[in-house]
């Protein structure tokens, strides 16, 4: 549910979407199976944003704050 809201919000305001994603970014603090589910949702958001950039659904400027937060949470450079 939260992931869908983040994806929807990116098209409106990337900064707000970046704030919404904070709860999911703390997935490592949770026990299984919640940890895996939260990480899975982060990966789904990431993949949807990449597809949206390619198709023109999202603007790069709106995706940037969310992409930065995702990269930090998932440990990517």
Residue 76 has a pLDDT of 75
Half-sphere exposure of 5 (CA within 13 A, CB side): 11
What's the pTM value of the predicted model, to 2 decimals? 0.90
18 near 42, Cβ under 8 Å?
no
Per-residue pLDDT of the chain in tens (77 residues, 90 and over written 9)? 999 999 999 999 999 999 999 999 999 999 999 999 999 999 999 999 999 999 999 999 999 999 999 999 999 75
Q: Tell me, what's the pLDDT at 77?
A: 58
28: left (phi over 0), alpha (psi -120 to 50) or beta: alpha
- What stretch of H or E contains 41? helix 34-55
Amino acid 63: pLDDT? 96
């Amino acid at each position: 549910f939260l992931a869908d809201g983040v994806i929807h919000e990116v098209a409106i305001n990337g900064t707000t979407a970046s704030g919404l994603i904070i709860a999911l970014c703390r997935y490592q603090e949770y026990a299984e199976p919640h940890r895996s589910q939260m990480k899975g949702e982060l990966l789904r958001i990431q993949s949807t944003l990449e597809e949206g950039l390619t198709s023109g659904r999202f603007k790069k400027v709106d995706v940037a704050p969310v992409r930065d937060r995702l990269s930090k949470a998932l440990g990517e450079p």
